Amino acid sequence: MLYLQYANRSDDMSEKKKVVQVKNPKTGRYVKIDREKGRIVAHKKSDGPFKNVAVARKRN
Amino acid sequence: MIFYNPTDNDVLTKRIKYNPRSAFIMTQLGGVKTNLLDEILSQLKTALNQKEIHSLDANSLITGKDFLSKIWNLALSSPIGIAVLSENMQQTTVANIYYELGLMNALGKETVVIKTPKFKIPSDFIRTEYIKYDNSFEKKMDSFLQQIFEQAEYYGVMADSLIAKPLLSIDYLRRAYLITQEDVYKNRALEIIKSNKFDEHTSMMVNSYFDIS
Protein backbone atom coordinates (compact mmCIF):
# COMPACT_ATOMS: atom_id res chain seq x y z
CA MET A 1 0.00 0.00 0.00
CA LEU A 2 1.13 3.49 -0.73
CA TYR A 3 1.45 6.42 1.52
CA LEU A 4 0.53 9.47 -0.51
CA GLN A 5 1.79 12.91 0.28
CA TYR A 6 0.43 15.75 -1.77
CA ALA A 7 2.76 18.29 -3.35
CA ASN A 8 -0.21 20.63 -3.71
CA ARG A 9 -3.57 19.98 -2.14
CA SER A 10 -6.78 20.24 -4.10
CA ASP A 11 -10.46 19.46 -3.57
CA ASP A 12 -10.42 16.69 -6.13
CA MET A 13 -8.25 14.24 -4.13
CA SER A 14 -9.63 10.99 -5.52
CA GLU A 15 -8.91 12.08 -9.08
CA LYS A 16 -5.39 13.01 -8.06
CA LYS A 17 -4.68 9.60 -6.55
CA LYS A 18 -5.00 8.08 -10.01
CA VAL A 19 -1.78 9.81 -10.99
CA VAL A 20 1.20 9.81 -8.62
CA GLN A 21 4.88 10.67 -8.83
CA VAL A 22 7.98 8.99 -7.44
CA LYS A 23 11.52 10.32 -7.24
CA ASN A 24 14.06 8.06 -8.91
CA PRO A 25 17.22 8.15 -6.74
CA LYS A 26 19.42 7.30 -9.71
CA THR A 27 18.46 10.42 -11.66
CA GLY A 28 17.10 12.57 -8.85
CA ARG A 29 14.13 13.30 -11.12
CA TYR A 30 10.45 12.55 -10.65
CA VAL A 31 8.54 9.95 -12.64
CA LYS A 32 4.79 10.34 -13.14
CA ILE A 33 2.65 7.19 -13.06
CA ASP A 34 -0.95 6.58 -14.05
CA ARG A 35 -1.93 4.02 -11.39
CA GLU A 36 -5.24 3.19 -13.02
CA LYS A 37 -3.60 2.19 -16.29
CA GLY A 38 -0.36 0.92 -14.69
CA ARG A 39 1.73 3.08 -16.93
CA ILE A 40 4.69 5.48 -16.61
CA VAL A 41 3.38 8.61 -18.31
CA ALA A 42 6.20 11.15 -17.92
CA HIS A 43 9.73 11.74 -16.71
CA LYS A 44 10.38 15.22 -15.36
CA LYS A 45 13.15 16.96 -17.30
CA SER A 46 13.99 19.46 -14.57
CA ASP A 47 14.51 19.41 -10.79
CA GLY A 48 11.60 19.28 -8.37
CA PRO A 49 8.24 17.52 -8.40
CA PHE A 50 5.37 17.83 -10.89
CA LYS A 51 2.81 20.36 -9.68
CA ASN A 52 -0.50 19.09 -8.29
CA VAL A 53 0.57 15.45 -8.38
CA ALA A 54 0.69 13.29 -5.25
CA VAL A 55 4.08 11.91 -4.23
CA ALA A 56 4.02 8.17 -3.57
CA ARG A 57 6.39 7.09 -0.80
CA LYS A 58 7.33 3.95 1.05
CA ARG A 59 5.21 3.44 4.15
CA ASN A 60 7.34 3.65 7.28
CA MET B 1 10.56 -11.14 -18.73
CA ILE B 2 11.83 -13.23 -21.60
CA PHE B 3 15.54 -14.06 -21.61
CA TYR B 4 17.50 -15.61 -24.44
CA ASN B 5 20.17 -18.26 -24.30
CA PRO B 6 23.41 -16.54 -25.43
CA THR B 7 24.76 -19.60 -27.20
CA ASP B 8 21.79 -20.42 -29.48
CA ASN B 9 19.43 -17.40 -29.15
CA ASP B 10 16.49 -19.63 -28.15
CA VAL B 11 14.16 -18.45 -25.41
CA LEU B 12 15.33 -19.63 -22.01
CA THR B 13 12.80 -22.08 -20.62
CA LYS B 14 14.62 -23.32 -17.53
CA ARG B 15 14.63 -21.89 -14.02
CA ILE B 16 17.33 -19.35 -13.27
CA LYS B 17 19.19 -19.56 -9.97
CA TYR B 18 19.36 -15.97 -8.75
CA ASN B 19 21.90 -14.62 -6.27
CA PRO B 20 20.15 -12.02 -4.12
CA ARG B 21 22.30 -9.45 -2.32
CA SER B 22 25.33 -10.13 -4.46
CA ALA B 23 27.62 -8.15 -6.72
CA PHE B 24 29.22 -9.48 -9.89
CA ILE B 25 32.80 -8.17 -9.96
CA MET B 26 34.04 -7.73 -13.51
CA THR B 27 37.81 -7.39 -13.63
CA GLN B 28 41.06 -9.07 -14.52
CA LEU B 29 41.12 -12.55 -13.03
CA GLY B 30 44.18 -14.29 -14.45
CA GLY B 31 47.72 -13.04 -15.02
CA VAL B 32 49.76 -10.82 -12.78
CA LYS B 33 47.75 -8.11 -11.06
CA THR B 34 49.32 -4.81 -10.09
CA ASN B 35 49.54 -3.94 -6.39
CA LEU B 36 47.07 -1.12 -7.02
CA LEU B 37 44.48 -3.49 -8.50
CA ASP B 38 44.92 -5.88 -5.57
CA GLU B 39 44.44 -2.96 -3.19
CA ILE B 40 41.26 -1.81 -4.97
CA LEU B 41 39.78 -5.32 -4.96
CA SER B 42 40.59 -5.78 -1.30
CA GLN B 43 38.92 -2.48 -0.31
CA LEU B 44 35.96 -3.26 -2.55
CA LYS B 45 35.44 -6.60 -0.85
CA THR B 46 35.56 -4.92 2.57
CA ALA B 47 32.95 -2.33 1.49
CA LEU B 48 30.65 -5.07 0.17
CA ASN B 49 31.08 -7.21 3.30
CA GLN B 50 30.06 -4.27 5.47
CA LYS B 51 26.73 -4.16 3.62
CA GLU B 52 26.43 -7.97 3.70
CA ILE B 53 26.68 -8.17 -0.07
CA HIS B 54 28.60 -11.19 -1.27
CA SER B 55 30.88 -10.80 -4.24
CA LEU B 56 30.94 -13.10 -7.22
CA ASP B 57 33.27 -13.29 -10.19
CA ALA B 58 33.74 -15.61 -13.13
CA ASN B 59 35.75 -17.97 -10.92
CA SER B 60 32.82 -18.32 -8.49
CA LEU B 61 30.90 -20.71 -10.72
CA ILE B 62 32.48 -24.03 -11.51
CA THR B 63 30.51 -25.53 -14.35
CA GLY B 64 31.30 -27.57 -17.41
CA LYS B 65 29.58 -24.98 -19.55
CA ASP B 66 31.35 -22.52 -21.76
CA PHE B 67 32.66 -19.25 -20.40
CA LEU B 68 30.02 -17.09 -22.12
CA SER B 69 27.20 -19.05 -20.44
CA LYS B 70 28.94 -18.68 -17.10
CA ILE B 71 29.33 -14.90 -17.50
CA TRP B 72 25.76 -14.55 -18.74
CA ASN B 73 24.38 -16.50 -15.77
CA LEU B 74 26.34 -14.36 -13.32
CA ALA B 75 25.19 -11.14 -15.00
CA LEU B 76 21.57 -12.30 -14.91
CA SER B 77 21.60 -13.66 -11.38
CA SER B 78 23.25 -10.71 -9.57
CA PRO B 79 21.55 -7.38 -8.90
CA ILE B 80 24.77 -5.35 -8.91
CA GLY B 81 27.60 -5.19 -11.45
CA ILE B 82 30.93 -3.63 -10.50
CA ALA B 83 33.58 -3.19 -13.18
CA VAL B 84 37.12 -2.56 -11.98
CA LEU B 85 39.36 -1.10 -14.68
CA SER B 86 43.01 -0.18 -14.74
CA GLU B 87 45.23 1.30 -17.44
CA ASN B 88 47.60 -1.64 -16.92
CA MET B 89 45.09 -4.23 -18.12
CA GLN B 90 45.36 -5.84 -21.54
CA GLN B 91 42.96 -4.52 -24.18
CA THR B 92 41.27 -7.92 -24.47
CA THR B 93 40.54 -7.93 -20.73
CA VAL B 94 39.10 -4.40 -20.90
CA ALA B 95 36.94 -5.42 -23.90
CA ASN B 96 35.56 -8.40 -21.95
CA ILE B 97 34.71 -6.17 -19.00
CA TYR B 98 32.88 -3.68 -21.23
CA TYR B 99 30.89 -6.53 -22.78
CA GLU B 100 29.83 -7.71 -19.31
CA LEU B 101 29.01 -4.18 -18.19
CA GLY B 102 26.85 -3.59 -21.28
CA LEU B 103 25.10 -6.91 -20.68
CA MET B 104 24.28 -5.92 -17.10
CA ASN B 105 23.04 -2.49 -18.18
CA ALA B 106 20.74 -4.14 -20.71
CA LEU B 107 19.38 -6.44 -17.99
CA GLY B 108 18.47 -3.46 -15.78
CA LYS B 109 21.11 -4.10 -13.12
CA GLU B 110 22.76 -1.50 -10.91
CA THR B 111 26.23 -0.88 -12.29
CA VAL B 112 29.29 1.16 -11.47
CA VAL B 113 32.82 1.45 -12.85
CA ILE B 114 35.75 1.72 -10.46
CA LYS B 115 38.78 3.04 -12.27
CA THR B 116 42.37 3.81 -11.50
CA PRO B 117 43.14 7.57 -11.76
CA LYS B 118 44.82 7.32 -15.19
CA PHE B 119 42.24 5.07 -16.85
CA LYS B 120 40.12 6.86 -19.49
CA ILE B 121 36.42 5.95 -19.84
CA PRO B 122 35.21 5.68 -23.47
CA SER B 123 32.37 7.95 -24.59
CA ASP B 124 29.68 5.22 -24.69
CA PHE B 125 30.11 4.78 -20.94
CA ILE B 126 30.27 8.47 -20.10
CA ARG B 127 26.81 8.28 -18.46
CA THR B 128 27.68 5.16 -16.50
CA GLU B 129 28.44 6.06 -12.93
CA TYR B 130 32.11 5.74 -12.10
CA ILE B 131 34.30 6.00 -9.04
CA LYS B 132 37.91 7.08 -9.30
CA TYR B 133 40.11 5.18 -6.89
CA ASP B 134 41.71 7.67 -4.50
CA ASN B 135 41.80 8.53 -0.80
CA SER B 136 38.03 8.97 -0.64
CA PHE B 137 37.26 5.59 -2.24
CA GLU B 138 35.70 4.12 0.91
CA LYS B 139 33.33 7.08 1.28
CA LYS B 140 32.36 7.08 -2.42
CA MET B 141 31.79 3.32 -2.44
CA ASP B 142 29.63 3.55 0.66
CA SER B 143 27.59 6.31 -0.99
CA PHE B 144 27.11 4.21 -4.14
CA LEU B 145 25.93 1.20 -2.14
CA GLN B 146 23.60 3.39 -0.09
CA GLN B 147 22.11 4.72 -3.33
CA ILE B 148 21.48 1.15 -4.50
CA PHE B 149 19.39 0.42 -1.41
CA GLU B 150 17.47 3.65 -2.00
CA GLN B 151 16.93 2.45 -5.55
CA ALA B 152 15.44 -0.78 -4.16
CA GLU B 153 12.97 1.29 -2.11
CA TYR B 154 12.10 3.20 -5.25
CA TYR B 155 11.45 -0.09 -7.06
CA GLY B 156 9.14 -1.09 -4.22
CA VAL B 157 7.10 2.10 -4.53
CA MET B 158 7.03 1.74 -8.32
CA ALA B 159 5.74 -1.82 -7.90
CA ASP B 160 2.85 -0.51 -5.80
CA SER B 161 2.13 2.28 -8.26
CA LEU B 162 2.10 -0.08 -11.24
CA ILE B 163 -0.08 -2.74 -9.62
CA ALA B 164 -2.60 -2.44 -12.48
CA LYS B 165 0.02 -4.24 -14.62
CA PRO B 166 0.91 -7.29 -12.48
CA LEU B 167 3.95 -8.39 -14.48
CA LEU B 168 5.44 -4.89 -14.45
CA SER B 169 4.82 -4.71 -10.73
CA ILE B 170 6.45 -8.11 -10.16
CA ASP B 171 9.47 -7.06 -12.22
CA TYR B 172 10.05 -4.05 -9.96
CA LEU B 173 9.62 -6.30 -6.90
CA ARG B 174 12.10 -8.77 -8.38
CA ARG B 175 14.76 -6.07 -8.61
CA ALA B 176 14.02 -4.74 -5.13
CA TYR B 177 14.19 -8.28 -3.71
CA LEU B 178 17.44 -9.10 -5.51
CA ILE B 179 19.13 -6.03 -4.04
CA THR B 180 17.84 -6.34 -0.48
CA GLN B 181 16.73 -9.99 -0.08
CA GLU B 182 13.93 -8.62 2.11
CA ASP B 183 10.87 -10.85 2.44
CA VAL B 184 8.51 -7.87 2.21
CA TYR B 185 9.11 -7.72 -1.56
CA LYS B 186 8.82 -11.48 -1.97
CA ASN B 187 5.56 -11.56 -0.01
CA ARG B 188 4.08 -8.75 -2.07
CA ALA B 189 5.02 -10.62 -5.23
CA LEU B 190 3.40 -13.77 -3.82
CA GLU B 191 0.13 -11.87 -3.31
CA ILE B 192 0.21 -10.72 -6.93
CA ILE B 193 1.00 -14.24 -8.15
CA LYS B 194 -1.92 -15.68 -6.15
CA SER B 195 -4.41 -13.12 -7.40
CA ASN B 196 -3.49 -13.44 -11.09
CA LYS B 197 -3.45 -16.30 -13.55
CA PHE B 198 -0.18 -16.63 -15.42
CA ASP B 199 0.73 -19.19 -18.06
CA GLU B 200 3.16 -21.99 -17.17
CA HIS B 201 6.27 -20.28 -18.56
CA THR B 202 5.51 -16.96 -16.88
CA SER B 203 4.79 -18.70 -13.57
CA MET B 204 8.09 -20.57 -13.76
CA MET B 205 10.07 -17.38 -14.48
CA VAL B 206 8.29 -15.41 -11.77
CA ASN B 207 8.74 -18.19 -9.20
CA SER B 208 12.44 -18.38 -9.98
CA TYR B 209 12.85 -14.63 -9.34
CA PHE B 210 11.93 -15.21 -5.69
CA ASP B 211 13.22 -18.78 -5.37
CA ILE B 212 9.69 -20.16 -4.94
CA SER B 213 9.38 -23.86 -5.75
Contact A56 B161 (CB under 8 A): yes
pLDDT value, residue B130: 87
CB contact under 8 A, A22 and B161: yes
- Assess whether B38 and B120 both reside in one domain: yes
Backbone angles phi, psi at B131, to 5 degrees: -125, 125
Tens of pLDDT along chain B (213 residues) come to 788 888 889 998 888 889 999 999 999 988 888 999 999 999 999 999 999 999 999 877 666 667 788 888 899 999 999 999 999 999 999 999 999 999 999 999 999 999 999 998 887 777 778 899 999 999 999 999 999 999 999 999 999 999 999 999 999 999 999 999 999 999 999 999 989 998 888 888 888 999 887
Query: What per-residue confidence (pLDDT) applies to B15?
Result: 87
Q: B95, B121, B147 — which closes off a domain?
A: B147
Q: Are residues B160 and B201 in the same domain?
A: yes
Pairwise CA distance, residues B156 & A58, whole Å: 8
Here the ipTM equals 0.84
C-beta of residue A16 within 8 angstroms of C-beta of residue A54 = yes
Task: Mark yes or no for CB contact A38/B153 under 8 Å.
Answer: no
First-to-last CA distance in chain B? 18
**B163 located within any domain:** yes
Residue B178's nearest CA partner among B212, B152, B142 is B152
Residues B55 and B126 in one domain: yes
Are B109 and B191 found together in one domain?
no
Sort out which chain A residues have CB atoms less than 8 A from B158's CB and list them. 22, 31, 33
pTM (predicted TM-score): 0.89
Structural domain that includes position B105? 22-147
For residues B36 and B81, membership in a common domain is answered with: yes
